[in-house]
C-alpha cells in the first residue's frame, strides 16, 4: 500500500467514525426534559419566589429554567406587595419576574389581581377603619387592575383575575370584597382586566375544586360571566392534594364539568403533601393553622422508600389523568420548584419537612419525572 493511499484510508475511516459518533448524539437520544416532553400536551409550569429570579437561589433557578415552560409569581404580584399604600405602586420585583420569564422563553402568568388574602388593609376601609362604599371599592379595584394589567400588556399572557372567592360548601366567601360588593366584584374584575389588555387570557382560580358543591358554584359563575359577554378563558383547579384526597375520580369529574362550560382547565398550584394533617382534606385555606408537634413531622430525617414510592405513584396517576385530558388542559403548574421551596413545609403546621414537588432538595428529579416523560410517548 502506498503512503498516499494509506493516509486517504485513514482520513475516510476517521470521517466515518466521527459521523457515527455524531449520529449517536442527535437530540432524539438526549434525555428529554419535562419541558420538551410535554411541549405538545400543555405548558408545564412552576411558581417562582423572588430569590429564584433575582440570582439568589441559583439551584432552583437552574431547575426551573431546564424543566419548566411556564411561570407564575408565588407572592410578588399580590396586591399587598404591588400597592402597599393607595396610589403607591411597587413594581421592582414584578418587573424582574416578567423580564426573567421573557429571557427564559416562558409562558408568563400573573397572580393574582383580586384576592381577599394578601390584600393591603387600606383597600377596603376609609380613614376611620369603616368599610368603604361599593362605589369607592369599585374605583379602587379598577385603578389597581388597570394599572397592573396595562403595565405588562402583551408580556403577561394570562391573569388569575379572581382567586378563591368560593367556600368548600359552594357558598360565597364572606370576605370584605363580598361584604361590600356582593358577587358583583367578580364580573367587575374580569371587565376591568379585559379593558386593560383585550388580548390577555383571564382566569378564575380556586382550591378543593374536586368537591362537587364548590365546583358546581364555579360552573355557575363561569356561565354567568359568559352570559354577560365577559371574557373568561380558563378555570384554575389548584392542586393542593394529599395522599388520600381527593380521589382521582372526583378530580376528573370536576375537570369534566368545568370543561363542559367551554373554558379550558388549568391545574394550578400542584403539590402533593406526604405529611399527616390535623384536619384532613383542607385544600389551601391559608387562615387555618396548627401548632407544631413532633408527631406531625415524621420525615424530618428523610423519606422511607415505601412512602417515597407511594408518593411517586400517586403523582404519576394524577399526571396520567392530565395527559388523558390534555385536549382540555392548557397548563399544569407546580406550586414551587424543589421540595425545599414548598409552602407545604410551613402549612398548615409550621417548620415541617415535606416532599411535595417534582424535584428534591438537591434539585434532582424524582422518579415520577421520567414516568411522566415516558407517558407522553404512549
Ligand atoms: O405560597 C404562598 C405562600 O408563600 C404565602 O405565604 C401564602 C400567603 O397566603 O400564599 C401562598 O400561595 C397561595 C396562593 O397565592 C393562592 N392559593 C393558595 C396558595 C398557598 O397558600
Give the distance (Å) from ligand 1 centre to CA of residue 330: 22
DSSP string, 136-203: HHHHHHHHHHHHHHHHTTTTS-EEEEEE--B-TTSSBP--HHHHHHGGGHHHHHHHHHHHH-TTSEEE
Is the peptide bond prior to 243 cis by the omega test (within 30 degrees of 0)?
no
pLDDT of residue 360: 98
Q: Is the C-beta atom of 74 inside 6 A of ligand 1?
A: yes
CB 359 within 8 A of CB 63: yes
Written as nine digits, the cell of 37 is 416532553
> 200 in a domain, yes or no?
yes
Residue with the smallest CA separation from ligand 1 atom 6 is: 343
> 24 in a domain, yes or no?
no
Give the distance (Å) from ligand 1 centre to CA of residue 25: 43
163 Cα nearest atom in ligand 1? 16
> 154 in a domain, yes or no?
yes
Number of domains, the chain = 1
CB 330 within 8 A of CB 264: yes
Residue with the smallest CA separation from ligand 1 atom 4 is: 343
78 Cα nearest atom in ligand 1? 15
- Tell me which residue of 40, 201, 34 sits closest to 111, measured CA to CA: 201
Q: Is the C-beta atom of 277 inside 6 A of ligand 1?
A: no
> 124 in a domain, yes or no?
yes
CA distance 102 to 110: 13
Residue with the smallest CA separation from ligand 1 atom 9 is: 286
> 129 in a domain, yes or no?
yes
15-51 burial by CB neighbour count: b if 16+ within 10 A, else e?
eeeeeeeeeeeeeeeeebbbbbbbeebbbbbbbbbbe
> 48 in a domain, yes or no?
yes
CA distance 320 to 94: 34
Pairing of strands 70-73, 264-273: unpaired
Q: Which of 116, 286, 336, 339 has most ligand 1 atoms within 8 Å of its beta carbon, as the pocket-test mutant?
A: 286
Angle among Cα 44, 300, 316 to the nearest 5 degrees reads: 30
Q: Is the C-beta atom of 284 inside 6 A of ligand 1?
A: yes
Structural domain of 357: 34-274+291-375
pLDDT of residue 10: 52
> 14 in a domain, yes or no?
no
Pairing of strands 329-334, 201-206: unpaired
Q: Is the C-beta atom of 75 inside 6 A of ligand 1?
A: yes
47 Cα nearest atom in ligand 1? 1
Per-residue tens of pLDDT for the chain, all 378 residues:
455 555 555 555 444 444 444 444 433 345 789 999 999 999 999 999 999 999 999 999 999 999 999 999 999 999 999 999 999 999 999 999 999 999 999 999 999 999 999 999 999 999 999 999 999 999 999 999 999 999 999 999 999 999 999 999 999 999 999 999 999 999 999 999 999 999 999 999 999 999 999 999 999 999 999 999 999 999 999 999 999 999 999 999 999 999 999 999 999 999 999 999 888 777 888 888 899 999 999 999 999 999 999 999 999 999 999 999 999 999 999 999 999 999 999 999 999 999 999 999 999 999 999 999 999 998
Give the distance (Å) from ligand 1 centre to CA of residue 227: 31
Pairing of strands 158-163, 264-273: unpaired
Give the distance (Å) from ligand 1 centre to CA of residue 81: 13
pLDDT of residue 15: 46
> 105 in a domain, yes or no?
yes
Q: What is the CATH number of the domain that holds 86?
A: 3.20.20.80
pLDDT of residue 20: 42
Amino acid at each position: 500500500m502506498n503512503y498516499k493511499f494509506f493516509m486517504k484510508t485513514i482520513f475516510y475511516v476517521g470521517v466515518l467514525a466521527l459521523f457515527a459518533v455524531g449520529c449517536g448524539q442527535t437530540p432524539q437520544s438526549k434525555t428529554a426534559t419535562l419541558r420538551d416532553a410535554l411541549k405538545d400536551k400543555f405548558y408545564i409550569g412552576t411558581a417562582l419566589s423572588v430569590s429564584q429570579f433575582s440570582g439568589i437561589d441559583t439551584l432552583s433557578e437552574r431547575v426551573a429554567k431546564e424543566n419548566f415552560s411556564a411561570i407564575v409569581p408565588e407572592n410578588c404580584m399580590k396586591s399587598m406587595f404591588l400597592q402597599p399604600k393607595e396610589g403607591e405602586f411597587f413594581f421592582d420585583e414584578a418587573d424582574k419576574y416578567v423580564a426573567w420569564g421573557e429571557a427564559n422563553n416562558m409562558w408568563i402568568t400573573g397572580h393574582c389581581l383580586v384576592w381577599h388574602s394578601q390584600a393591603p388593609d387600606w383597600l377596603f376601609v376609609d380613614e376611620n377603619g369603616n368599610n368603604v362604599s361599593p362605589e369607592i371599592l369599585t374605583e379602587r379595584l379598577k385603578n389597581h387592575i388597570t394599572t397592573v394589567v396595562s403595565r405588562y400588556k402583551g408580556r403577561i399572557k394570562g391573569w388569575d383575575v379572581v382567586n378563591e372567592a368560593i367556600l368548600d360548601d359552594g357558598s360565597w366567601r364572606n370576605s370584605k370584597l363580598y361584604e361590600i360588593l356582593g358577587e358583583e366584584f367578580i364580573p367587575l374584575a374580569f371587565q376591568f382586566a379585559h379593558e386593560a389588555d383585550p388580548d390577555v387570557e383571564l382566569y378564575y382560580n380556586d382550591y378543593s375544586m374536586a368537591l362537587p358543591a364548590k365546583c358546581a358554584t364555579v360552573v355557575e359563575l363561569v356561565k354567568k360571566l359568559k352570559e354577560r359577554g365577559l371574557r373568561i378563558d380558563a378555570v384554575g383547579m389548584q392542586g393542593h392534594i394529599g395522599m388520600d384526597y381527593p380521589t382521582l375520580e372526583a378530580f376528573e369529574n370536576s375537570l369534566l364539568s368545568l370543561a363542559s362550560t367551554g373554558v379550558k382547565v388549568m391545574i394550578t398550584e400542584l403539590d402533593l403533601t406526604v405529611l399527616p394533617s390535623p384536619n384532613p382534606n383542607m385544600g389551601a385555606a391559608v387562615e387555618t393553622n396548627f401548632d407544631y408537634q413532633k408527631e406531625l413531622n415524621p420525615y424530618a430525617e428523610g423519606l422511607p422508600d415505601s412512602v417515597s414510592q407511594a408518593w411517586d405513584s400517586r403523582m404519576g396517576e394524577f399526571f396520567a389523568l392530565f395527559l388523558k385530558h390534555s385536549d382540555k388542559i392548557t397548563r399544569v403548574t407546580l406550586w414551587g420548584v424543589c421540595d425545599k421551596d414548598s409552602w407545604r413545609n410551613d402549612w398548615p403546621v409550621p417548620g415541617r419537612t415535606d416532599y411535595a414537588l417534582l424535584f428534591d432538595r438537591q434539585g434532582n428529579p424524582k422518579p415520577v419525572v421520567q414516568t411522566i416523560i415516558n407517558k407522553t410517548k404512549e
